[in-house]
Amino acid sequence: MKITSFIPRLALLMAVLASAATAGFGQKVSYNFLPGTNFANYKTYRWVRVDKAEYPNEIVDTQITRSIDAQLGLKGLSRIETDGADLLITYQTAVNQEKEWNSYSYGGSYWGGGWGWGGWWGGPTSTTSTTRTIHVGTLRLDFYDREQKKLVWRGEATKTLDPPKDPNKLRKKIDNAMKKLLKNYPPKEKN
């Protein structure tokens, strides 16, 4: 194989690896629920706060709760402000830091042969590594049955945080995240 046909294949491989690595930073959503719960019985909900929990600033907090309200409204639930709601709903957020490592090698040269035979890399090679801190945000949404005082549904969304400068884009990201998070509410039990 000639070096001129090797370079496009190497570039394609690098593009596939880069897109696979970037996909790993997408939003991850999971949920769990109490088996045997009849979610059709729930018609109303009320927001509650967890003592000593940290919440985002008032603007982002309002954006999150409004987005969840909109999704729950589409599912037939009504928000009420008084006691007596079927569900008590709360959310909490957390931000963790992770390290991302990137290494780049360059230099060397390729002589002769094809993919599996007769060719070799030679010459000096240099590798540069960098690290950066990534902030990973998690939002956990809990639904409690008010009468039974039991957790009946929990959803969690985790994503690398890269807040946009445009508030409209942030609101859209929050709406998309809450839509994805509540996709499996009410859950469908498998027999």
Which residues in the chain show pLDDT less than 70? Answer: 1-26, 97-100, 105-125, 133-135, 191
Query: What pTM does this model have?
Result: 0.68
Q: For residue 5, is it within any domain?
A: no
- Host domain of residue 73: 25-95+132-191
For the chain, how many structural domains are there in total?
1
Tens-place pLDDT, residues 35-60: 999 999 999 999 999 888 888 889 98
Q: For residue 72, is it within any domain?
A: yes
Q: What is the CATH number of the domain that holds 31?
A: 3.30.160.670
Q: For residue 47, is it within any domain?
A: yes
- Tell me the two tokens of residue 162: 């890269």
